[in-house]
A and B are shown apart, each in its own frame.
Chain A
Amino acid sequence: MREITDSDAKRRLMTGAAGLMLLAAGFVVSVITGTVDISVGDMARIFTGVQTDGMYHVLMNIRLPRIITGAFVGVNLALSGAILQAVLKNPLADPGIVGVTAGAGLFAMAVMILLPSFTHLVPPAAFIGAFVTSLVIYFLAYDGGAHPLRLILAGVALAAFLGAFMSSLTVLYSDRVQGTVNWMAGSLSGKSWIHVKMILPYTLLGLFGAGIGARYLNILMLGDDVARGLGLSVERVKFMLTMLAALLAASAVSVAGLLGFVGLIVPHITRLIIGSDNRFLIPFSAVFGGIIVIFADTAARVVFAPYELPVGVVMAFVGAPFFLYLLSRSSRS
Chain B
Amino acid sequence: MNFFACENLSAGYGRKEVLKNITLSFEKGRIASVIGPNGSGKSTLLKCMGRLLKPSAGCVYLDGRSISSMTDSAIARSVGILPQSPSAPGDIPVHCLVAYGRNPHKKALSSFTKEDRETVEWAMHATGLQDKRFLRLGQLSGGERQRAWIAMALAQRPQILLLDEPTTYLDIHHQFEVLELLEKLNTSCGLTVVMVMHDLNLASKFSGRLIAMKDGQVLLDGCAEEVLTEENIFDIFRVKSRIVDMDGSRAAMYMGVA
Contact = CB atoms under 8 A, between A and B. Distances in A.
Contact of A218 (B51, B87, B100, B101): B100
B42 interface: no
Given A5-B134, A231-B104, 11 more contacts: A1-B117, A1-B120, A3-B96, A222-B97, A226-B86, A229-B52, A229-B79, A230-B100, A230-B104, A233-B72, A275-B91
A54 B115 CA distance: 62
A222 B103 CA distance: 13
Interface in B61-84: 71-77, 79-83
B148 to A, nearest CB: 12
Nearest 7 Cβ contacts at the A-B interface: A231-B76, A231-B104, A231-B73, A229-B81, A225-B83, A230-B103, A5-B134
B92 interface: yes
A1 B99 contact: yes
17 contacts: A1-B112, A1-B120, A222-B87, A223-B86, A225-B81, A228-B52, A228-B72, A229-B50, A229-B76, A229-B79, A229-B80, A230-B100, A231-B77, A231-B104, A233-B71, A275-B91, A277-B91
A221 B76 contact: no
Contacts of B120: 1
Contacts of A229: 50, 52, 76, 79-83, 153
Given A222-B86, A226-B82, A230-B104, A5 B93 contact: yes
Contacts of A232: 72-73, 103
Interface of B: 47, 50-52, 71-77, 79-83, 86-89, 91-93, 95-97, 99-101, 103-104, 108-109, 112, 116-117, 120, 134, 152-153, 156
Contacts of B51: 228
Contacts, number: 79
Contacts of B101: 230
A50 to B, nearest CB: 44
A258 B112 CA distance: 41
A192 interface: no
A215 B109 CA distance: 10
Interface in A1-35: 1-5, 8
A215 B153 CA distance: 17
A4 B91 CA distance: 12
B100 A222 contact: yes
A150 to B, nearest CB: 14
Contacts of A40: none
A256 interface: no
A237 B100 CA distance: 16
A275 B89 CA distance: 10
Nearest to A222: B88
Nearest to A230: B103
Instruction: Determine which residue in B51, B83, B97, B109 has the highest number of CB atoms from chain A within 10 A of its CB, and name it.
Output: B83
A2 B117 CA distance: 9
B100 A219 contact: yes
A324 interface: no
Contacts of A226: 82-83, 86, 88
A212 interface: yes
B92 A277 contact: yes
